[in-house]
Structures are given as C-alpha cells and as structure tokens.
Structure 1
Amino acid sequence: MAMYVQQLETFIRVAEEGSFGWAANTLFISTPAVVQQISLFEEHCGVTLFKRSNRGVQLTPTGQALYEDGKKIIALSNQALARAQQIEEDSKETLQIGTSPIFRARVLIDTMTMAREDGLPLKFEIPNLVAELSQMNNNFDLLGQKCDLLEAIYCDIAWQGQCQFYELFQTPLGVAVNHHHPLAGQTSVTIKDLAPYTITLSIPGVASQLDALRTDILREIPHATIHDAETIGQDTIALSEVQPYIFITQKIFQDNHPNLVTIPLETPYTLPYGLIYSNTPSQPVRDLLAYIDDHREALIKKWVS
C-alpha cells in the first residue's frame, strides 16, 4: 500500500533504469503501460521529465530535481505509514493462547488465522507453557494470568466451578493401542473386545461420561483390569506405547499420540470439546468468543467430519 501516486514510483524506476523497457521488467508490467504512466505524469505535472532517444531516456534538469525529491517523498511516506500501522498494532488487545502436546491448540490456530484476515482488533501470543501444561489436570491458576484460553475436553465433574467452558462440539470416545496390539487392525471395537487387556481410564469423579463408561465396562466385564489415571500426560500415553494397554481417548487427540492407533469405541458416550477460560474473562476473551460464535461452523468443519 502506497500513500503516493503510482506514477511517482514508476518515474523513479524509469530514472534509475534509464529505459522504459527495463523499468517495465522490474515493475512486472508492460512497456506501453510504463510509457503511458510517464506521459500522464508529465502532463499532470506540466513539465518534461525525460529526454527520449533510441538509446533510452535521460532525466531533464526538471526531472533530476523531481527524482531527488521524489525519493524523499517515498521514503517519508513509507515511514509515516509504518508508524501509523505500528500504532494501530500496539493499540490492539493481546490474547495469550495456551498450547502444549497435551493441550494442543487446533481450532484456536484456525481462529487466529481467520481473525487476522478479517481484521479483528486483537493480537495473539503463544507463551511457552509446555512444562505447565504437560498434564491434563487442574491448570486453572494459569487462566487469566499466563494464558487466556486453552483448548481441551471438558471434565464436567472435576472442573465444575473452576473455569468457564465454551463448547465447540462433542467428540466420540475411542481407544488407542500400539501398532503391534491385537486390536490395532480393527475398524471399531466393543467393550467386550477390551476384556483381555488393561484399560487406562481417568479416575472416577472426573467426567460423568467416563464414569458411565466405567460402569458399562464393569457390567460387561466384571473382572476388568482398569488402570486409574489421576492425570493424563505423556507418561500415561507411554504405557500403551510399550505395553498392550488400552488407552481410552478421543479421535481428535490422535495427533497427541502418533505412535498409537486410535480406533472408534462402540459406545453412546461423547465428551464436550472446546475452550476453557477464566471465571472472570477479560473483554478480549469475550470478543474472541463472540467472533468464534459467529464463525463456529466454518471453524469446526474439518474437526467434526
């Protein structure tokens, strides 16, 4: 974007190249277009800027003066525009997006891209919180302090009252196993298929749907071996990577554990997936949530297909 007429830049380029044709090449336009721009510029200014000959063009004394001042005009114009844009950027509120291998930002990354393209007056930062977000447990002290939004499933029992939640969609349950596991080749599994194996499942009292699944497992497999996971992190995932454990997960988290095969589990239970944020959200958080609400279908399309 330029704050000066395009003909001035074309004039500068012709003066420096000494030829309409060479200037056209650097401007990626045709030679006749350059000739026309210069003719119109001379007519508009009421002066002759070039001496034309078969060997090219040469600045007239008038052209030389305009060339020297024109370069200053362009430089000052670019500096003024850069300062104005920086002031505009500095005036935007900043949102900090939390992300890690466990709390991976998926929809939020797409949201940031779309919001920038639409000119939403917000800046986004991604602080380094890999250590703090290495486990899926109570990370609420970070909200509103070190980050404003996290993307995760919502634990409706354990997290009740400790944060607010914006639901994007429901995500079905699945199981994750290593590539050598006997179930790895199946397109789906039932609860009874899990009978011979140790099942890694969140401890009771975390999410009502997982508690309901636990009840179904114990009803269909009375002597089921369940490994209760107090938190979900890379160490929990590693159990299934090196042992024939069954890890209860969701399809959307398969990028969290690429060394495991994620298989749909035939069960009616789903978990809410979306954004968690402070009980006292800032205005920028509310503004972004309103934007997401308006563009929700487009933002979640690739994740629910």
Structure 2
Amino acid sequence: MNSRNREYAMLGRSSDLIVGTFDSTTLKQSFSAIQLGAYHFGIAVRSDNPLAQLDEITYSDLAHRKVLMVSTGISEKNDLVRSEMLAAEPSIQPIDTSGRYDINTFNETVEENIAMISLTSWKRIHPNLVTVPLKTSVTVPYGLLSTKFPGKKTADFLHEFTKLVPTETQSHS
C-alpha cells in the first residue's frame, strides 16, 4: 500500500477501519470505502483576514491572493476545485503543500495570513482559523475506509454495517 497519508497507511497494519475522506485517487491506492456522506469545500483564513467576515467565498473573492492547497495528483476533488478556481480567476496564486495537510499546513496558513482550501467540517481544526464555505458544487465523499482485502472479521463487520446503517452508496472499490 502506497499512501501519502499516514492515517490511511495504517489501514491493515495498526487499524482495520478509519473514517475519512476519499475519492477515486484514494481508492486506487488499495482502499475500499463505504460512503456515509459528503463534505463541502471551504476556505480557511486567519480570523482577522477580511475573508473571514464573509458568509460565502467566491473565486472572485480570492483574486490576486495566495491560496494554499494540496498539489495536483493527491486528490481528484482538490484537483477539480483547483481547475475550477484557476479557470474562473487566473490571478489566484496557488501555493502547493508537500502532501496532504498536517499541523504545519494550518500553522503556515495562520503565520502567512493566506487562504487555504479546506473542508467546512474542519471549521474548528485550528484555533486561529475560520472556515468560510466556498461557492462550488464540488464535494468530497467521506465514509468508512478499509483495505481492499480486510480479513474475515473486518469484512463480516462491514457486511453487517451496510445492512444496518443507511449509506449514500453501498460501496466504492
């Protein structure tokens, strides 16, 4: 399993299941997912940034600004938002992270007082950041992730889980 996300890399090793986001890029890395819902994108900014006062952020609100985001190829959904954003507002200056987000990414957003593509569900992920919904139709599915071949006990649990819990779609592989 070759994952750029250390939590996903633990699947099948120190954990059988995690709840997390996924897309086709994630699922190509030997994971399976049961979708439970979808998160909306937002823009995280320092609380004193003028964008923090908005109810919703449009791409034109980000004109001539630096926007921190994961580099292309890591997340299909982030790649879609990046393409949509730069097509709508070419003056946006993308700043790529070295991989998926970690505490250093959130601290950099605060220290540099720049915008960062985020998820609205992460609105309390850092005490100095405010996440404002981004006007886009792109969403990120989240759900229960396992390895493609999780072992009998985990497979049995997942089978029972899908019978008991309403899910967005039963399974992605």
- Superposed, which structure 2 residues align to 1:193-212 within 5 Å? 193-212=61-80
Gaps of 5+ in 1: 1-134, 301-305
Match of 2:112 among 231, 240, 243: 243
Q: Which amino acid aligns with 2:115?
A: I
Matches of 1:164 and 1:158, distance apart in 2: 9
Matches of 2:25 and 2:33, distance apart in 1: 13
Matches of 2:33 and 2:26, distance apart in 1: 13
- The answer for the alignment partner of 1:145 in structure 2 is 13
Matches of 1:175 and 1:136, distance apart in 2: 23
Once the two structures are TM-superposed, the CA of residue 138 in structure 1 deviates from its matched residue by 5.3
Q: Does 1:233 align with 2:80?
A: no
Contact 1:200 1:227 (C-alpha < 8 Å) held by counterparts? yes
Secondary structure of the equivalent of 1:176? strand
Match of 2:30 among 162, 169, 172: 162
Q: Which has the higher strand share?
A: 2
Cα distance, 1:174–1:141 mapped onto 2, change above 3 Å: closer
- Superposed, which structure 2 residues align to 1:46-57 within 5 Å? none
Once the two structures are TM-superposed, the CA of residue 237 in structure 1 deviates from its matched residue by 0.9
Contact 1:203 1:228 (C-alpha < 8 Å) held by counterparts? yes
- The answer for the alignment partner of 1:279 in structure 2 is 148
Matches of 2:12 and 2:102, distance apart in 1: 23
Matches of 1:215 and 1:141, distance apart in 2: 28
Secondary structure of the equivalent of 2:123? helix
**Residue by residue, what CA displacement relative to the aligned partner does 1:141-170 show, whole Å, maximum 9, x if unpaired?**
422221111221114225514211221111
Q: Which has the higher helix share?
A: 1
Share of identical aligned residues, percent? 25
Moved over 4 A (4+): 138-141
Cα distance, 1:246–1:146 mapped onto 2, change above 3 Å: same
- Superposed, which structure 2 residues align to 1:176-195 within 5 Å? 176-195=44-63
Contact 1:138 1:159 (C-alpha < 8 Å) held by counterparts? no
Larger relative contact order (C-alpha < 8 A, sep ≥ 6)? 2
Contact 1:156 1:206 (C-alpha < 8 Å) held by counterparts? no
| Residue-pair matches, total | 165
Match of 1:224 among 87, 92, 105: 92
Q: Does 1:266 align with 2:103?
A: no
Once the two structures are TM-superposed, the CA of residue 268 in structure 1 deviates from its matched residue by 0.7
- The answer for the alignment partner of 2:81 in structure 1 is 213
- The answer for the alignment partner of 1:252 in structure 2 is 121
Q: Which amino acid aligns with 2:144?
A: L
- Answer with 1 or 2: which has the greater Rg: 1
Q: Which amino acid aligns with 1:156?
A: S
